[in-house]
Amino acid sequence: MNKAFFIDKDGTLVDNSGYPDIIPSDEILYEDVIEGLRHIQIKGYKIIIVSNQPWIAKGKMSREEVEDVFKSLIRKLSERKIKIDDYYYCPHQSSDNCDCKKPSPKMIFEAARKHNIHLIESYTVGDMDSDIYAGINAGTKTILVKTGRGKDFIGKLNDKVYKTLNNLNEIRDVL
């Protein structure tokens, strides 16, 4: 079986400081993520993005526009020799009461089935409580990063997270 890092996009991999005016972004937090993603790859983990993208349901972006953002992000990371194995996103807003929006583990479970991933040996990384609870609900270890909105959840999730990191580059201290 494979092991994986399920990584949130907005605020974890990319800058979302322009939210809500600029959504979603493909502007990589280069100084905060590239070396960490390389380390994850070297250690043999698959890298899978799992992201809530409610702008589709809210009519702020089309599914095609969101797809373009993901493809641009994956291309930019590929140029840095980072391979994203797959990505999943929920297009719904909270009021839709769907079964895929994080903190639901549905996207993680789908990826685990498709990529033959052993969840107990895997990690979920994000900057929000919904990321952490999705990881807990899926049975992975959880990592809160202080990028994006992560600083808002320090102290509130300490007993729920395996580790809290300033950014993804600190993953070397975990693996």
Catalytic residue numbers read: 8, 10
Q: What 8-state DSSP symbol labels residue 28?
A: B
Residue written as token pair 């033959």:
116
Residue type at 9?
A: K
- DSSP assignment of 102-159 equals TTS-HHHHHHHHHHTB-GGG-EEEESSHHHHHHHHHHT-EEEEESTTTGGGGTTTSTT
Residue type at 88?
A: Y
